[in-house]
Structure 1
Amino acid sequence: MPHVAMVSIPFHGHVNPSLDLVRALVARGHRVTYANDPSWAGTVRATGAELRPYASTLPGDGGADLDGIDQLTLFLDDAIAMLPQLRAAYADDRPDLFLYDIAGSPARLLGSAWGIPSVQLTPTFVPWNGYEVEMAPAIEAMRAGPRGADYYRRFTEWLTAQGSPITDGPTFLGRPDRGLALIPRALQPHADLVDRDVFSFVGPLLGGRSTSGSWSRPAGAEKVLLVSLGSAFTDRPGFYRRCIAAFGGLPGWHTVLQIGRSVDPAALGDVPASVEIHSWVPQPAILAEADAFVTHAGMGGSSEGLFHGVPMIAAPQAADQFANADRLAALGVARVISSETVTTGELRSALLALTTDPAVAARCAELSRQVRAESGVERAVDLVEAVLPTAHGRPARPARF
C-alpha cells in the first residue's frame, strides 16, 4: 500500500483545502499520514488518515497583529523547529511521496534528502513567469531593513545547512518541483503566465468536506446571508453590530453571523430572530444555501463564494485579502468595503444592489460553472498518483502537470 505523507500547519486556511484530497487518497487505497499539531487529531482522523504529531511554535492567531517581516519570521521559526520533528516521525516509516502545504516546506527538504518526490499544495495564488521581477522592489525594500535582512540571511543559512540546491528563501517557497494550486484560475493573477509543467489548477476541493458539518435553511427564510470574517481576524464587535442593524430587519432575509471565539455574543446587544450567531459555522454547507456572502476575502472564502455562485461584500482585513477583494470586484461579483468605516446604510445598500442586479447574477452563475468545471478531487488524486514511484523507482505515469 503506497504511503503518502501530508504536512501542514495548524490553521484552517492551510488544513481545510487538503482535507478532501486526503480523504480521496485514502478511499483509493493509499495509506496517508498527516503531520500537524496534535490539536488537529480529530480532523485528521475523520479523513481516514493517521496523525503524525509535531509541536508547532506558531501562536494561535498566526501573528495576526504583526507586520509582514515578523509574520515571515514566525513561519520560518516554525519551519526550522518542524524539520527535526518530521525527520524523527518518518525515519522508520519513510513515505513514497510527500504532499505539503506551502507552510509545510520542511517536507520538501526531507524529500530531497531522502530521494522522495514531493508535491506542494498551494491554497493561494502561485508565481507566474515574471513574478520575481515584479516582486523585486518589495523584497529589496524588506531586505534593506535590519529585521528583513536578518530574516533572509537566516533563511539562506538554514537552507544551505540542510543541503538544499535552492538557497534563496522566496524561490524555495514559490518554485516547488511540482504543485497543485487549490484555487480557481479566476483568482490567479496572470494565470496565462503560470508554468503548467509545474503547477496544475484543481480549484477549491470542496466536494465531501463532511467534517465541516451541515446546515439547513430555516422555514420561511426567503434569502440567506452569511457573514464571516474567517478564523483569524474576527475580533470586530462593532462591525458585527452594524451588520445586525443593517440586515436584521430586511424582510425575507435570514442572516447567519459567525463572530469567532474572541467576541462575547452579549456585546452585540439585542439580536432579532432573523439573525443567528455562532462562534464557528460550517461555511461550505451554508454557502450552498446562501444568496449572498459578507467575507473577509481570504482565499478560501473567496474560492468557496465563487464555487457556490454567491455575490459577495468583501471586507478585507490583512495580507492577500485586499488583492482578492479587488479581484472579486473586477470579476463583477463583489463590492469592497472597509469594516472599520462602513455604515449600516452602506452595508444594506451594497447587499440589495448586488442581489438585485441581473448582471451580477449572470457573472456569479458563469464563474460558478467555470470553477466547478475545473475543480475536481478525482483529477487532483490522479495528478498525485502520477508522481508516486513504482517499485522500480520510476513514476507510475508521466508526471507532467
Structure 2
Amino acid sequence: MPNGTAPNPRHFAFLLFADFGHIAPTLGPARELLARGHRVTYVVDERFRPAVEEAGATAVTYTSARGDFYRAADPTPDRLAREGYELLLDTVRTVFPRAMDHFAADAPDVILYDYETVAPARVAARLLDAVPVQVSPSHAANETFSLRRQMWDADHPLMRRGASVLIEFMTSHGIGVQELGRYGAEWDERNLVFLPRAFQIRGDSFDERFAFVGPTVTEPPAGTWTPPADGRRTALVSLGTEAGDRHAFFRVCAEAFDPAEWHVVMTLGRGADLDRLGPLPAHVEAHAWLPHPAVLPHAAVLVCHAGMGSIMEALYHGTPVVALPRAHELDLSARRLEECGVGRSLPRRGVTARRLSDAVAGLLADPLLPRRLAEMRTAVREAGGAVRAADLLEDWAAERPSPAAAGA
C-alpha cells in the first residue's frame, strides 16, 4: 500500500510496560501504520517519549513507579514479587486514568498491550469499544505454556494481594465475576508475537489466535561502525539498553577473548560511565551504546543477557549467541537458544574469563551450528515483521465500525 493512502484511517493505541525491550519491538509496526496513513498513540513513561516521537507517533506520558529490578545484579523472587505488585498498582492507579483521560474524546480503534499492562488495557478496550490486541516482546503464553507460572510464585503473599487488586479493579468497571477468567488470561483472542514460531517455546501448540511476526530489524546508516581491517574475528558484548553498573562483567569479557584472534566491541548501556571501566586492552572498544545491527553482520558471536531484542537481532543476521541471563524469562530464552542449537547459556554468577572463553569456543566448534543458524535466520526473516503486523492490525481494526460508518 502506498504511503499515506489508507482508505479508512484508524487510530491505534499502545499501552506498554515501561521498558525499552517492550517498546522497541512495536516501533517498526507503528512506523508502518503511520506510513499507511493511520494514527498511532503511545501511553508511555516519559523516558520513552523521544523514541516514540522519533517514530512519528504521539506520546501521552506519565511517570512510572518502576524500580531498578531489571538492572539489579542479582534479583530475587521476593524482589520480583514486590516490584511486580508495585507495577500492577501503577498500571491501575496511574496508567489507566491517564489513558482514559486522553482517549475520552479520541477513542482508539485498537488497543495494543503486553502482559504487564493486561488490566488497564483490557478494561480500557471494553469501556472504549476498542479491539484489544496483546503483543508479546518475549515468549507468548497459551493453554500449554504459561510464562506467568515460570516467572511468578502463585503462593507468594504479594501475588495473592495482586489478584485481589485485579478483581477489585475489574469489578469496579463492570466486569462480572463470571468474566474474570477471560479478562485475567495470559493471552487474548488476537496476539502479535515478535519472534518466529521456530523460537517460541512449544511453538507448535499455538493456534491461529497467535501471529508470530518476528522482529523488525532496522539497518543503521552506512559507516555507523567499521570492522577491524586485520581479519580478526569480532565479538559483540552487551547487557542491553538498561544494563546499569556491570563493569566487572565487562572486564571479564575483555579478558575472555585472545587479542591475537579477536576484536571486542562492548555496549555498556545508555548513560553508562565508560571511565569506570578503567584502561582497556587495545583489542577492546567500548561504547555507551551502538546499534547492534551495525556490528552483527561482522560478528562471530554475541555475548549478551538473553534479552529477546538482542537475540532476535543476532539471529536475523545469523550470529550465534552466548547468553548469561540473570533471572525470569531471560533464563527461558537462554535455554531456548541451546534447544535450537544456536547458542550457549552460562550462569552470570561466578562467570570467569576462562568459562566464557570455553563457551564461545565450544559453540563455534559445533559442526551443526552453521545449518541451524541458517534455518533460524530464514525463520526470523520470513516471519513478516512490521508489514505483516500492520496488515493484521488493519484487519483487526476493521472489526470495529469506522467513525464514518458509525455516523452514516
* Aligned 8 A contact 2:151 2:329 in 1: no
Partner of 1:102: 115
2:386 maps to 1:366: no
Q: How many Å apart are 1:12 and its aligned residue?
A: 1.0
Structure 2 counterparts to residues 22-41 of structure 1, below 5 A: 22-41=30-49
Partners of 1:348 and 1:154 in 2: CA distance: 47
Q: How many Å apart are 1:342 and its aligned residue?
A: 2.4
1:313 corresponds to which letter in structure 2? V
Q: How many Å apart are 1:344 and its aligned residue?
A: 1.5
User: Which residue, 205, 224, 247 being the options, matches 1:237?
Assistant: 247
* Aligned 8 A contact 1:241 1:269 in 2: no
2:389 maps to 1:380: yes
2:180 corresponds to which letter in structure 1? T
Structure 2 counterparts to residues 136-155 of structure 1, below 5 A: 142-143=154-155, 145-155=156-166
- CA 103–30 in structure 1, closer or farther in 2 if over 3 Å, else same: same
2:95 maps to 1:82: yes
2:136 corresponds to which letter in structure 1? T
The DSSP-based 3-state class of the residue aligned with 2:397 is coil
CA RMSD between the two structures: 2.8
1:312-340: CA deviation from partner (whole Å, max 9, x where unpaired): 11111111111111111121121221222
Structure 2 counterparts to residues 43-122 of structure 1, below 5 A: 43-59=51-67, 61=69, 64=72, 65=75, 67-80=79-92, 81-105=94-118, 106-122=120-136
Partner of 1:399: none
2:138 maps to 1:124: yes
* Aligned 8 A contact 1:236 1:263 in 2: no
Partner of 1:281: 290
* Aligned 8 A contact 1:156 1:168 in 2: no
Q: How many Å apart are 1:265 and its aligned residue?
A: 3.3
Partners of 1:336 and 1:390 in 2: CA distance: 43
* Aligned 8 A contact 1:313 1:335 in 2: yes
1:364-400: CA deviation from partner (whole Å, max 9, x where unpaired): 1221112211232211111000011378459x9xxxx
* Aligned 8 A contact 2:69 2:80 in 1: no
1:213-235: CA deviation from partner (whole Å, max 9, x where unpaired): 94332433532211111234543
Partners of 1:160 and 1:126 in 2: CA distance: 26
* Aligned 8 A contact 2:197 2:204 in 1: no
- CA 56–306 in structure 1, closer or farther in 2 if over 3 Å, else same: same
- CA 92–137 in structure 1, closer or farther in 2 if over 3 Å, else same: closer
Partners of 1:152 and 1:186 in 2: CA distance: 33
- CA 254–8 in structure 1, closer or farther in 2 if over 3 Å, else same: same
The number of equivalent residue pairs is 387
- CA 13–135 in structure 1, closer or farther in 2 if over 3 Å, else same: closer
2:333 maps to 1:343: no
Partners of 1:88 and 1:108 in 2: CA distance: 16
The DSSP-based 3-state class of the residue aligned with 2:368 is helix
Partners of 2:43 and 2:391 in 1: CA distance: 22
2:37 corresponds to which letter in structure 1? G
Q: How many Å apart are 1:135 and its aligned residue?
A: 7.1
* Aligned 8 A contact 2:40 2:58 in 1: yes
Q: How many Å apart are 1:287 and its aligned residue?
A: 2.0
Partners of 1:173 and 1:224 in 2: CA distance: 44
Partners of 2:110 and 2:157 in 1: CA distance: 38
The DSSP-based 3-state class of the residue aligned with 1:335 is strand
Gaps of 5+ in 2: 1-8
Partners of 1:267 and 1:136 in 2: CA distance: 38
The DSSP-based 3-state class of the residue aligned with 2:237 is strand
* Aligned 8 A contact 1:182 1:204 in 2: yes
* Aligned 8 A contact 2:197 2:212 in 1: yes
* Aligned 8 A contact 1:222 1:252 in 2: yes
Gaps of 5+ in 1: 397-401
- Per the normalisation by structure 2, the TM-score is 0.86
Q: How many Å apart are 1:236 and its aligned residue?
A: 2.6
* Aligned 8 A contact 1:234 1:260 in 2: yes
* Aligned 8 A contact 1:128 1:195 in 2: no
Partner of 2:237: 227
Partners of 1:238 and 1:60 in 2: CA distance: 19
2:101 corresponds to which letter in structure 1? A
Tell me the percent identity.
34
* Aligned 8 A contact 1:128 1:190 in 2: no
Q: How many Å apart are 1:210 and its aligned residue?
A: 5.5
The DSSP-based 3-state class of the residue aligned with 1:142 is coil
* Aligned 8 A contact 2:134 2:187 in 1: no
- Per the normalisation by structure 1, the TM-score is 0.87
* Aligned 8 A contact 1:9 1:56 in 2: no
